């Protein structure tokens, strides 16, 4: 799988109406490609203005299938298809208690907030203080005041709001940190990019009374998890 080629920074030229049109076209494309099936996830993707979670120098590329750089160390907003790629197999739905490890831009948390609705809960953890501050500003500006934002290492999870119905890691790990599986309800699901050799696979984990069932979904390419359960980077 090739690495991502990030387009060059440039001044924003597109209007609000142009972004809205691109958002609608992207949602149609996600349905046509088979990434997007659920009506709640579709509505969320149509509603949340992705461009407002992207730094101005990359905003014109908001609906391109590339991850884009964010303030902070190696942080990116994932490419548009990543969100249904994670949320569809999770079966993220109304009323769920959802934990995200890797807040990034805040866009994934905003989508999740729309999907789980007022009856649900979204908790998102970010390890990088610069990225965290950026996401917090984005979410406040977009009117999301009821997402629990935590600055710190998400590897140990967030026990004060556990148990969770659904958990996702948006950074690649060698193995899912055991505290996250502990904080998942029986019947709950967790999605994470997991490293195997030099490749990464998106893996769905379902917690049963008898143990964890793991299914590999597809090959992916994500930034590495940092912190206590992180992947040591070779620089
Ligand atoms: C692909 S980006 C997240 C994309 C994000 N979900 C969005 O919608 O923009 C991965 C993020 O995980 C963060 N991260 C890496 N290791 C982490 C850890 N142990 N705990 C919390 N966040 C972590 C990175 O700093 C980065 O912001």
DSSP 43-82: HHHHHS-GGGGS-GGGGGGTTSSS-EE-SSSS-EEPPTTH
In the numeric block, which tokens belong to residue 50?
A: 């992705």
Q: 158 to each of 18, 27, 70, 137, 200, how far by Cα in Å?
A: 39, 32, 24, 22, 25
Binned at pLDDT 50, 70 and 90, residue 1 comes out as: very low
Would you say residue 29 has pLDDT above 90? yes
Q: Is the CB of 193 under 6 A from ligand 1?
A: no
Distance 210 CA to ligand 1 centre (A): 30
- Model confidence, pTM: 0.96
Q: Is the CB of 170 under 6 A from ligand 1?
A: yes
Range among 4-8, 71-75, 188-192, 193-197 rated most confident: 188-192
Strands 199-208 and 211-220: antiparallel
- pLDDT tens digit string along 140-164? 999 999 999 999 999 999 999 999 9
Binned at pLDDT 50, 70 and 90, residue 40 comes out as: very high
From 81, 127, 179, mutation site for ligand 1 pocket: most ligand atoms within 8 A of C-beta: 127
Residue among 145, 56, 53 nearest 104 (CA): 53
Q: Compute the mean pLDDT over every residue in the chain, rounded to the nearest whole number.
A: 96
Distance 5 CA to ligand 1 centre (A): 19
For the CA of 131, the closest atom of ligand 1 is 27
* Cβ contacts of 52 within 8 Å, gap of 6 or more: 138, 141, 142
* 78 classed as catalytic: yes
- pLDDT tens digit string along 199-230? 999 999 999 999 999 999 999 999 999 999 99
Q: Is the CB of 157 under 6 A from ligand 1?
A: no
Q: How far apart are CA 145 and CA 120, in angstroms?
A: 14
Span between the terminal Cα atoms of the chain, in Å: 20
User: Within 13 Å of residue 8, how many CA atoms lie on the same side as its CB?
Assistant: 1
Residue nearest to atom 3 of ligand 1 (CA): 104
Residue ranges and CATH numbers for the domains of the chain are: 16-220 (3.40.50.150)
The pLDDT score that the predictor gives to residue 43 is 98
From 104, 110, 115, mutation site for ligand 1 pocket: most ligand atoms within 8 A of C-beta: 104
Q: How far apart are CA 49 and CA 107, in angstroms?
A: 9
- pLDDT tens digit string along 166-190? 999 999 999 999 999 999 999 999 9
Q: Which of 15, 38, 78, 235 is catalytic?
A: 78
Q: Is the CB of 80 under 6 A from ligand 1?
A: no
Q: How far apart are CA 170 and CA 101, in angstroms?
A: 6
The pLDDT score that the predictor gives to residue 59 is 98
Percent of the chain with pLDDT over 70: 98
For the CA of 109, the closest atom of ligand 1 is 8
Distance 75 CA to ligand 1 centre (A): 6
Q: Is the CB of 125 under 6 A from ligand 1?
A: yes
């Amino acid at each position: 799988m090739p690495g991502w080629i990030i387009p060059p920074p440039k001044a924003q030229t597109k209007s609000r109406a142009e972004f809205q049109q691109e958002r609608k076209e992207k949602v149609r494309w996600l349905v046509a490609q088979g990434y997007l099936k659920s009506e709640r996830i579709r509505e969320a993707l149509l509603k949340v203005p992705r461009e407002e979670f992207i730094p101005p120098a990359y905003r014109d590329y908001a609906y391109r299938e590339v991850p884009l750089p964010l303030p902070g160390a190696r942080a990116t907003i994932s490419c548009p298809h990543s969100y249904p790629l994670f949320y569809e197999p999770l079966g993220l739905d109304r009323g769920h208690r959802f934990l995200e490890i890797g807040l990034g831009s805040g866009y994934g948390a905003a989508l999740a907030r729309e999907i789980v609705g007022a009856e649900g809960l979204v908790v998102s953890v970010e390890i990088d203080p610069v990225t965290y501050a950026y996401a917090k500003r984005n979410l406040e500006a977009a009117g999301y005041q009821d997402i629990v934002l935590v600055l710190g290492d998400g590897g140990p999870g967030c026990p004060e709001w556990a148990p969770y119905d659904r958990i996702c890691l948006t950074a690649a790990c060698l193995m899912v940190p055991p505290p996250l599986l502990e904080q998942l309800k029986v019947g709950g699901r967790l999605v994470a990019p997991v490293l195997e050799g030099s490749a990464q696979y998106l893996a769905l984990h379902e917690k049963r009374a008898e143990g964890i069932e793991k299914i590999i979904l597809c090959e992916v390419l994500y930034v590495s998890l940092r912190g206590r359960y992180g992947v040591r980077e070779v620089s």
